[in-house]
Amino acid sequence: MIRSAILGASGYVGGELLRLLSRHPGIRATRLFGDSKAGQRLGSVHPHIGGVTAALEVARFKPEALDGIDLVFAALPHGESQRWAETILASGARLVDLGADFRLHDPQVYATWYGEAHQAPQLLDQFVYGIPELHREAIRSARAVAAAGCYPTATILALKPLVDAGLVDPVSLIVDAASGVSGAGRAVKEGTAFNTVDGSFAAYGLLNHRHTAEMEQALGGTVLFTPHLAPMTRGILATCYATATRAMAADEPLQALRAAYAAEPFVRVSDDPPATKWVSGSNGAVVTARYDPRTGRVLALGAIDNLGKGAAGQMIQCANLMLGLDETAGLTAEGVFP
């Protein structure tokens, strides 16, 4: 069994990693770190975790506690990964990081979108961008992976094959996406209180959401991105608009998706527009696309669970590849429906 440590074990992604690893045949969650709830028993932090795991204690992170650890999953507040990555990699452990810290290859782009200089630019080229469907071979041989953000994963899975096939103009992209509330993390605030969100739908982060940079890097273009908060706990739907490069058959974009994902275990191409609940609680993704002859645009949609394929599921998929395990070990593509 691979021995893994989770940094950020008390957040939602940490809880999802624990749930998924509890039935993973090859990776065990051996050490749990989380500063804000250090000293608490796991059972009081994550009420869905029972059994012997519930008795484990969340500890404050110390580098020496990585002794004997083969793999680190990091789901930390922004900026923390830059602080600890060198130490983790020096320990000999592989690293799957969910932070935005090492996703952008260019530290200048990082500085532009995050408003501060990158603290560990020398490590950037050790990280592979963690969407296995795009970078499977590089991930297999990587020591460190920067797992993609939730919005970018849904968006890139829907658009990348269309860009690659030359069907859409990459400088024309508009991404309008809705997320479940767990995407905002576990910190309590009025904006994510039940009474605020229930029965309501709103946009936020207009024009400048940081995930824009990741989308532009992966798609090689310009993106106007508007995230929305939907009254649901999990799920992301990205509805993407692009100017077509030429007239084409209505289903040509769909065929491009089918060709790209024919052999993928977690990406399904659907004729119909997907609902996020189809993949809720799973590592699955569903995409579709079509050409609109009336406006000359291509419409593409991608649905995932932000905590699954958008976070913990994708981290485990990347880890499976890095460790030479079956890529699907411990994961499913079937959502908890209804």
| Binds its own copies (CB under 8 A): choice among 117, 220, 295, 326 | 295
Question: What phi and psi, each to the nearest 5 degrees, are found at residue 250?
Answer: -55, -35
**Segment lying near its own copies (by CB under 8 A), choices 74-82, 133-141, 202-210, 254-262:** 202-210
CA-based torsion, 69, 74, 75, 80: positive or negative: positive
Count of residues touching its own copies (by CB under 8 A): 79
| Under 8 Å between Cβ of 118 and 85 | no
The closest alpha carbon to 128, from 84, 81, 96, belongs to 96
- Cα diameter, the chain: 62
CA dist., res. 83 & res. 76, Å (int): 11
> Minimum distance from CB of 25 to its own copies (Å)?
10
**Residue of 27, 148, 150, 223 with catalytic role:** 150
Our finding on whether 76 is near its own copies (CB under 8 A) is no
- Name the DSSP class of 168: B
57: its two tokens: 């204690």
Whether 318 is catalytic = no
- Binding to its own copies, residues 13-32 (CB under 8 A): 15, 18-19, 22-23
| Binds its own copies (CB under 8 A): choice among 55, 117, 206, 259 | 206
Assign residue 272 a region: left if phi > 0, alpha if psi is -120 to 50, beta otherwise? beta
- Binding to its own copies, residues 219-278 (CB under 8 A): 222, 224, 226, 228, 230-235, 237, 239, 241, 265, 268, 273-278
- Binding to its own copies, residues 119-158 (CB under 8 A): none
> Minimum distance from CB of 2 to its own copies (Å)?
20
Cα 38 to Cα 7, 35, 42, 78, distances in angstroms: 11, 5, 10, 19
Contacts of 169 (CB under 8 A, 6+ apart): 221, 242, 243, 244, 245
- Using the minimum distance from each CB to its own copies, give the nearer residue, 146 or 229: 229
> Minimum distance from CB of 311 to its own copies (Å)?
13
Which amino acid is located at 327 in the chain? E
| Under 8 Å between Cβ of 37 and 45 | yes
| Binds its own copies (CB under 8 A): choice among 142, 156, 181, 322 | 181
> Minimum distance from CB of 138 to its own copies (Å)?
26
- Using the minimum distance from each CB to its own copies, give the nearer residue, 95 or 242: 242
> Minimum distance from CB of 73 to its own copies (Å)?
17
Our finding on whether 167 is near its own copies (CB under 8 A) is no
- Using the minimum distance from each CB to its own copies, give the nearer residue, 14 or 91: 14
- Name the DSSP class of 273: P
Our finding on whether 207 is near its own copies (CB under 8 A) is yes
| Under 8 Å between Cβ of 139 and 249 | no
Q: Any idea which residues carry the catalytic annotation?
A: 150
